[in-house]
Structure 1
Amino acid sequence: MTVNIKNLIEKNKEEFYKDLDKVMQIESVKGDSLDNAPFGIGPKQALEEVMKIASDYGFKTHIVNDAVGYAQFGEGDDYIGIVGHLDVVPAGDGWSFPPFKLSKKDERLYGRGILDNKGPIMSCLFGLKLLKEMGIKPIKPVRIIFGTDEESGSSDLPLYLAEERAPIFAFTPDCKYPVVYGERGIVNYTISTHFDSNVLQDLIIKGDQSSAHVPDELTATFHEESYQVLGKRSPSNAPELGENAITTLAKKLSKNKEIPNQLSHYFSWVEESFSEKHYGEGIGLDFEDEDSGKLILTPYELTVKHNTIQLSIAIRYPVSTKEEEVTEQLHKVVPKDSEIKIIRQLKSTSFPKDNSHVKKLSRVYEQITGLDGAPVTTTGATYARFFPNTVAFGPSFPGQKGIAHNSDEYMDEKDLLLNMEIYMEAILALVCD
């Protein structure tokens, strides 16, 4: 193309921000399932708003089973897909900016979803609009697909695939660069440890706990005495960037002489097994391989139910490790009178690194950034696990980690616009070569 894409983006960026803000103002957190809104009102409202924007851009639009929408440019059955999501995790506390609004300060953009994933997927839509206005003629259609349940298990994609054929190739702008060809296996466990009657009678543990992040604030009450601990939130797949309030609380309680021995021993086990031991080394789960690196382990929820303490942990294991190996080792190290239950499991995935479409994406990335475009693996879980013929591609650049689910979620303006440039060139390479 003779048009300078970078200059074109710069010229039109304010229009892009205006439309992006419309979407970011919608609190698209998963809610109760309703008629015509299977994942709640917020995600459906965001989907309808994006379909209106895409229609105004001149694209063919359609909503599938009230769960997934798409904007298509070009005609034909075999299409190239770009699949992202409009649902977001709850805002939480600690924001310096309105969480559900696009804010800008010192060349940095803020708001829930600016990185994960409204900013990147809307940059793909707006980039496609610019390409259409440039007069490109795709040899196969490109379809930008907007999901509404990625943060809660991706149960939206089966609803899409029940009515629509899969793409011949797709990427999701919801991970990191360069091309991500493999995703680790994920298994979450709840370890339920039983105690003698009345030992836990007065123990109460409260806090914002979720499998999505390292807990950063917990309060325990025992015999009318309160224990509060503060940590630092980070995504559950990057526990080394946070400070886990569970292990901090366990350390404090284990050293309190007023705590019964049975309970003190339990909290000592939690501290010794998991405190600053993010790679499973505290319980013999330090598996690793060359492609995907070390296993990652995150305790994310601690609750009391009757005579039982339940500890939930998230594990992301290397592609060469089997889930059964992890489970077998875990059984060897839990306290006595404990039961283990698997509450989430996703097998590892891998896509051929030598695929011709992967090579095109790698080449685009290298040409624009000057960085190494060799395909990599990830600890995260993206739509690529659930959508055929799909890899992850962006939006985070090397060294950028642990931003998505935090308060003051951000993306530097230059990075968002650079993403749009990369995605526009990627579309050209995939559907115009």
Structure 2
Amino acid sequence: METKIKALVEENWEDFLNDLAQVIRIPSVQGIAEANCPFGREPKAAVLQALEIAKGYGFETKLVNQAVGYAQFGESRVDQKYLGIIGHLDVVPADESNWDSPPFALSRRNGVLYARGILDNKGPIMSCLFGLKLIKDLGIQPKIPIRILFGSNEEMGSHDMPLYLEKEVPPIFGFTPDCKYPVVYGERGIVNLAIKTTIEDAATVKLGDFRGQMSRSIVPSELSVIFDEQKITALGKSSPSNAPEMGVNSITKLAHELSEILPSGALKTYFSWLDDHLSEEYYGGKLGIGYSDEASGKLIVTPVLIEKIDDQNLLLELAIRYPISVTQDMIITAIKEHLPQKSQVTVTRALKGTNFPIDNPYIKLLSDIYGSVTGLDVKPVTTTGATYARYMPNTVAFGPSFPGQKGIAHKENEYFVEADLKTNLIIYALAIYKLCLSASGNNTRTD
């Protein structure tokens, strides 16, 4: 079957790209909530476009609570059991001035595909839909339905999944193609801490507001502030907040600059602390939270926001990804011992980690397919990322990034090597094929 699917992917590749381009062209960034558009018009428009394509493939489709669409292969059962593949069509913003080609048009250059969402997550979830089509065209029928779910709010908190679960039961097993290979059985816990520090120093009055693009999902690349009528600017390099070592954080760079020029006093002491404890200190050791475990590796900490509240108070927000054996309370208790004086800690975001049973038969099924196609190590892994697996029961992450591929999403010129996307389509089509056999009670057949 693997040889047959590879041939089908080659034969139908251009058709797939044409269909993918229809979804790419919609700038599905979260907008203002409206009646029947809980996350704005464009994310819903992308979902509706995907459902229209799915209808053309001959699948039953449905829009659930105006937030999540699905395409179903196989007849619904009285017991409502189904298998799920869950991805999202919403994307982060794209500043066209920083792109070499229009972000919302699928571009192809030297064997590489470029577009906002080509990796995260339009390319992977649409490849799952097309893989489902290829299996259907082969005449294979599952006894337990398979659904491809198209979400519309993953980038801004995954508030779409609770809306789906208000109306539908979760799958008996599912995967989301929105992370990395091999199978991701565990996701680290995430906690964001806002640290408000009172600074009794006349120099704070001379400090202006911090200017720059800061968000919880990225390492900020540029930041400036005025002190005593002098503008200080720090230029860094953006990267995902769960991979801070791949970027250069403008918050810590600016802290270093300020610690050098400020007069002695509490404000200088604060920025010196920030510089010492967080500049290129990605694993929390100087904050007393240098936890690690064998399953998930080291804790990761990233400064993502700094703000002047008033002439006596500054706020620093840290994004922390912690190992599956660690608790949020452990982190908060430890970090309080290493903060500047007169600091208060508030949790602004908290997501518990996930830990799917690694011996589940479906894990082996997906792992075997990945190994067969790629010849790479199939041992399941954990991740620092946050996917729909945190919100949809019975779900793991599976692809699309191969080992060593990191820090591509959420940036200008987001890309997917065409050969890699093609390999993903093969993997996902084979996974769907095996899930069809598993669903009928026979997961040992080979072709």
Give TM-score, length-normalised by structure 2: 0.94
Measured in 1, the distance between the counterparts of 2:39 and 2:204 equals 36
Is structure 2 residue 28 aligned with structure 1 residue 28?
Answer: yes
Give the match's secondary structure for 1:150: coil
Partner of 2:157: 153
Is structure 2 residue 82 aligned with structure 1 residue 79?
Answer: yes
Task: Identify which of 326, 333, 336 aligns with 2:341.
Answer: 336
Instruction: Give 2:251's aligned amino acid.
Output: I
Measured in 1, the distance between the counterparts of 2:123 and 2:34 equals 27
Task: Identify which of 175, 178, 197 aligns with 1:174.
Answer: 178
Measured in 2, the distance between the counterparts of 1:38 and 1:385 equals 21
Residue identity over aligned pairs, in percent, reads 53
Q: Which 4+ residue blocks in structure 1 deviate beyond 2 angstroms?
A: 195-202
- The answer as to whether partners of 1:194 and 1:308 remain within 8 angstroms in 2 is yes
Partner of 2:414: 409
Instruction: Give 1:62's aligned amino acid.
Output: K
Which string of whole-angstrom CA distances, capped at 9 and with x for unpartnered residues, describes residues 310-334 of structure 1? Answer: 1111000111111111000111111
Instruction: Give 1:52's aligned amino acid.
Output: E
- The answer as to whether partners of 1:80 and 1:431 remain within 8 angstroms in 2 is no
Is structure 2 residue 318 aligned with structure 1 residue 318?
Answer: no
Partner of 1:247: 252
Partner of 1:18: 18
Deviation at 1:3, TM superposition (A): 6.3
> 5 Å matches for 1:6-405?
6-75=6-75, 76=77, 77-92=80-95, 94-196=98-200, 199-202=203-206, 203-257=208-262, 259=263, 261-306=265-310, 307-405=312-410
Deviation at 1:416, TM superposition (A): 0.5
Partner of 2:440: none
Deviation at 1:101, TM superposition (A): 1.5
Measured in 2, the distance between the counterparts of 1:39 and 1:12 equals 33
Structure 1: runs of 5 or more not aligned? none
Instruction: Give 2:179's aligned amino acid.
Output: C
Instruction: Give 1:240's aligned amino acid.
Output: E
Instruction: Give 1:349's aligned amino acid.
Output: T
Give TM-score, length-normalised by structure 1: 0.97
Deviation at 1:139, TM superposition (A): 2.5
- The answer as to whether partners of 2:184 and 2:397 remain within 8 angstroms in 1 is yes
Measured in 2, the distance between the counterparts of 1:2 and 1:165 equals 32
**61-70 vs 8-17, which deviates more?**
8-17
Give the match's secondary structure for 1:151: coil
Measured in 1, the distance between the counterparts of 2:260 and 2:271 equals 9
Structure 2: runs of 5 or more not aligned? 438-442
Measured in 2, the distance between the counterparts of 1:351 and 1:275 equals 34
**131-140 vs 32-41, which deviates more?**
131-140
Deviation at 1:126, TM superposition (A): 1.0
Measured in 2, the distance between the counterparts of 1:235 and 1:338 equals 27
Measured in 2, the distance between the counterparts of 1:201 and 1:48 equals 52
Deviation at 1:372, TM superposition (A): 1.3
Measured in 2, the distance between the counterparts of 1:69 and 1:256 equals 55
The number of aligned residues is 432
Deviation at 1:198, TM superposition (A): 5.2
- The answer as to whether partners of 2:39 and 2:152 remain within 8 angstroms in 1 is yes
Instruction: Give 1:256's aligned amino acid.
Output: I
- The answer as to whether partners of 2:201 and 2:266 remain within 8 angstroms in 1 is no
**146-155 vs 260-269, which deviates more?**
260-269
